[in-house]
Amino acid sequence: MNTKKEITPKKWNEEVIPGIGMLLETARKPPFNYELAGSHGEPGTQPNFSEDRIMFNGRGEDGYETMAIKRTVADFYFCKTNRNPYDAVCVAVLIFMETCFRTQFSWNSDGDHDEEDFKAEGLAILKATFDYELLDRKSLLKSLKEKLQQDDPAL
């Protein structure tokens, strides 16, 4: 994956952090029940959100390598999941990022599994979070804004 062009601090704070935060929240709840942790996967830790990166891992033995999304330009970085359960959460985050920030972010997979099977659980998390069927930027960001306004009507 790579961040091709810096994501502005405004978009990062108003779209990326809340959007990924909602995805991780959905992934932790039924029917998904993923156990997520901070960047090193230690039990009792939480995913890390900062002004320039978001990092998480599976918890304990369900983790493998840190999933990191960076706000600033990064030519290449990767996350091996070893097909551990948090793989689906990583896929949801990557699809969200590429859909909303297509000119700034891209990703691919070198996994040897069927691509549709690989994406199915990630898409399920994305759809459960944002209540939409189409993968288009405008619909996804509209849904994100509506969800944020439900939480804070002042937005």
Number of structural domains the chain divides into: 1
Q: How far apart (Å, rounded) are the C-alpha atoms in residues 141 and 46? A: 25
For residue 154, being part of any structural domain is answered with no
For residue 56, being part of any structural domain is answered with yes
pTM, whole model, 2 decimals?
A: 0.81
Per-residue model confidence (pLDDT) at position 120: 84
- pLDDT tens track, the chain, 155 positions: 555 678 899 999 999 999 999 999 999 999 999 999 999 999 999 999 999 999 999 999 888 888 888 888 766 566 677 778 888 898 899 888 888 887 887 676 655 545 556 578 888 999 999 876 666 767 777 888 888 888 765 55
For residue 77, being part of any structural domain is answered with yes
Q: What is the CA radius of gyration of the chain?
A: 15
For residue 99, being part of any structural domain is answered with yes
CA of residue 9 relative to chain centroid, distance: 17
Per-residue model confidence (pLDDT) at position 78: 60
What confidence tens digit (pLDDT) does each residue in 67-82 have?
Answer: 888 888 766 566 677 7
User: What is the domain range of residue 92?
Assistant: 2-145
Burial class (CB in 10 A: 0-12, 13-18, 19+), 30: exposed
For residue 15, being part of any structural domain is answered with yes
Per-residue model confidence (pLDDT) at position 135: 63
Per-residue model confidence (pLDDT) at position 3: 59
Burial class (CB in 10 A: 0-12, 13-18, 19+), 2: middle
For residue 13, being part of any structural domain is answered with yes
Per-residue model confidence (pLDDT) at position 74: 67
Per-residue model confidence (pLDDT) at position 31: 95
For residue 123, being part of any structural domain is answered with yes
For residue 152, being part of any structural domain is answered with no
